[in-house]
Amino acid sequence: MLLQPKLPTTPHAPAAPTQTHEPAACTCQHTAPPPAPRRTLPSVSTGAVALVLVGGVVATALLAAVAVSAISVAVAAAVLRSLFNNQQRNR
């Protein structure tokens, strides 16, 4: 209740106009608009779809291989550091 908006008080709401206006009947003859030209979707061959899918799988496999290699290098570096630190302490 700390922040409550103060709404303005209005004595009455404005009335909506109730006049209805009917358009006069048109006596001229209109022609129907020409049909819109039909758009055709570009056709995509199944070979192109297969190529995109195979490319995605290959890219994913390469990224996974890089991630695994990075993790193995990090583990090897941690092991070598631990061995080096142990060797320095024993001297």
Give the phi and the psi of residue 80 in degrees, each rounded to 5.
Answer: -65, -40
Cα(86)–Cα(39) distance, integer angstroms: 74
Q: Where are the chain's structural domains?
A: 63-91
Helix, strand and coil in the chain, % to nearest 5: 50, 0, 50
48-84: pLDDT as tens digits? 999 999 999 999 999 999 999 999 999 999 999 999 9
The structure's pTM equals 0.46
Q: What is the pLDDT of residue 17?
A: 63
Cα(91)–Cα(83) distance, integer angstroms: 13
20-44: pLDDT as tens digits? 667 677 777 778 788 888 888 778 8
Structure tokens at 72: 């193995």
